[in-house]
Structure formats: C-alpha cells, structure tokens
Structure 1
C-alpha cells in the first residue's frame, strides 16, 4: 500500500503541484480513507519527501542504464538529456520551484543528492571522453563537472530564462551544445556535428 500511495501521490504532485494537492485529494483518488495514508506517512511533508526521493531514484536508475550502454560520452549526454526531458514532460506545475518554495529542507537535501549523482556521472563521462580522444586532455574534470551542474540548474531559473522566450527543450539542447563545444577535440567536434545534424528535430 505504501508504494501505491507514493505512485498516486507522484502523479498528482507532478501534474497539479505539491502545494495544491491535499491528503484528502490523494485518498479520494485512491478510494481509501485518509487514515490509511497516515498509517504510512505521519504528515504531508513526509509524503512529499518520499515522492521526491522516489522520482530521484527512478531518474538515477535511468541515467545509470544509459551510461552503461552508450556508444560514446557525447551521445551519452544527449541520451540522458532526452531521458530527463521525457520525464519532465509530465511536470506541468514547476515541481522543483514549488519544492524550493514550500519545502525548502527537502529541496536542499534533494539538490545536494542531485549534485552528487550528476558530479560522479559527469566526471566518469569526461574521463571516458578524454581517454577516447573526444575531449581535450587538458580539461579540469572536477571544475567542468561542477560548471555543468551549475549551468543545468541555472537554465531552470525562469526569472533569467522565462518560458515564454525559451522552451525547456531549447534551453537543454543549447546548453548541451555550448558545454560540449568548449571541451571537444577535433575528433569529438566531428562526432558532435554529425550527431546534431542527424538528430535535429
């Protein structure tokens, strides 16, 4: 039952927002009593936390799968971008923004977990790119990885990149190309150009 509650709450929170969905709404949607939810989650904050970390784990598993099967670090980053974009398509209510505003402690913990996961993943990808001659061998992997995370977080700031001017797809596509062009070798640049040309939407 606990997993069923998390699954239904995830759908409702991501589509309608953390703030607007009540425990009554979740109970009604599931056809159960609110008391049943409180058996597993003492309050809404605990449920929001469980949902946030559950979504994070799903995305981490997907990224790990991509990293273990990708042809090269350039395509790997694009595959991860597509995977994350497909996940974000369901999010109609800016859940990251709502989480930051209404549940700042959960947001701070999640943000740190996101950084740690992305930092490890991107460092591995950068090392593989250097080893295969696709990325320059003089890049500072630790610095580039942190800059990449900072940039990916920054493009989600709607006060700087309003959605009426920039779609999230455009922002992620453009930032990814910006990031890769700064670190590729001539060999990597050919693969990047070829990939962009053949995957233009």
Structure 2
C-alpha cells in the first residue's frame, strides 16, 4: 500500500503541483480514507519527502540503466535527458521550483543528493568523451561537472525561464547543445548535430 500511495501521489504532484494537491484528493484517487495514508505518512510534508525520495531513486535507477548501455557520451547525455523527462512528465508543474518555494528543507536535501549523483555521472561522461576524442583534452572536468549541475538547476527556475515562454524539453535541448558545444571537438560537434536532428 505504501508504494501505491507514493505512486498515485507522485502522479498528482507532477500533474497538479506539490502545493495544490490535498490529502483528500490523494485519498480519493486511491479509493481509501485519509486515515490509511496517515498510517504510512504522518502529514503532507512527510508524504512530499517520501515522494521526492521515491522519484529520486527511480531516476537514479534509470540513469544507471542508460549508463549501462555504453552509448557514446553525447548520445548518453541525450538519453538520460529523455529518461528524466519521461519520469517527470515533461515537468509541466515545475516540481523543482515548487519544492524550492513551498518545501525548502526537502528541496535542499534533494539538491545535495542530486549533486553527488550527477557529479559522478557527468565526470565519468566527460572523461569517456575525452578518451573517445568527442570532448577536448584541455577541458577542466571538475569545473565543467559542477557548472553543468548548476546550469541544469538554473534552467528550472521559473522566474528566469517561465514555462509560458519555454517548454522544458526545449530548455533541456538548448542547454545540452550549449554545454556540449563548449567542450566538443570537431568529431563531438558532428555527433551533437546527429543527436539534435533526431527526434528529442
């Protein structure tokens, strides 16, 4: 039952936003009483924390699956993007922005966990890219892995990039093009163009 609560809550939060979904709506969608939810989660904040952990774990498993395919590093970045977008339902409700605004402690904890996972993934991606001559040998891997993470956080800031002006898919594609263009060799730029011409 706990996983069912997390799964239904996740869908509601992603579609309608963390702030607007009530415990009554979650109970109604589950076909149970609120009392049943409170057996597993003491309040809505506790449920939000549970859902963000649940989503984080699912995305981490998805990243591991993509990395296990041993794609070339540029293709890997775009594949991870597609997988994340699928999990977050194109971020129509901007979950990160809402977490930051309404649940800052949960957001801060999640950001730390995201940082550690992304640092490892991106550093490995960059080093493989250098080895395969897709990325320039002279790049500073430590700097780029960090700036990549903070850029990814920044494009989800609705005050700077309102979703009325940009779709999240468009933002992600533009950001990946920007990131790869800055570090790629001629060979890497050709692979980037291959990825951009495919349906993203």
Q: Distance in 2 between matches of 1:20 and 1:182?
A: 40
Report Cα offsets for 1:106-154 as digits up to 9, x if no partner.
0100011111111110001001111111111111111000111111111
1:17-166 residue pairs with structure 2 within 5 A?
17-89=17-89, 91-166=91-166
Report Cα offsets for 1:160-197 as digits up to 9, x if no partner.
22223222222111111111111112222222233333
More deviation in 49-58 or 164-173?
164-173
Distance 1:91 1:171, change over 3 A: closer
Contact persistence 2:127–2:141 (CA under 8 A)? yes
- State the 4+ residue runs in structure 1 displaced beyond 6 angstroms: none
Could you say what the CA RMSD is over the residues aligned between the two structures, in angstroms?
A: 1.6
Aligned length: 200
TM-score after normalising by structure 1: 0.92
Q: Distance in 1 between matches of 2:111 and 2:184?
A: 28
Q: Distance in 1 between matches of 2:190 and 2:9?
A: 45
Distance 1:12 1:196, change over 3 A: closer
TM-score after normalising by structure 2: 0.93
Contact persistence 1:18–1:48 (CA under 8 A)? yes
**Structure 1 residue 90: Cα displacement:** 5.5
More deviation in 106-115 or 10-19?
10-19
Distance 1:11 1:63, change over 3 A: same
More deviation in 143-152 or 26-35?
26-35
Q: Is 1:187 aligned with 2:200?
A: no
Q: Secondary structure at the match of 1:113?
A: helix
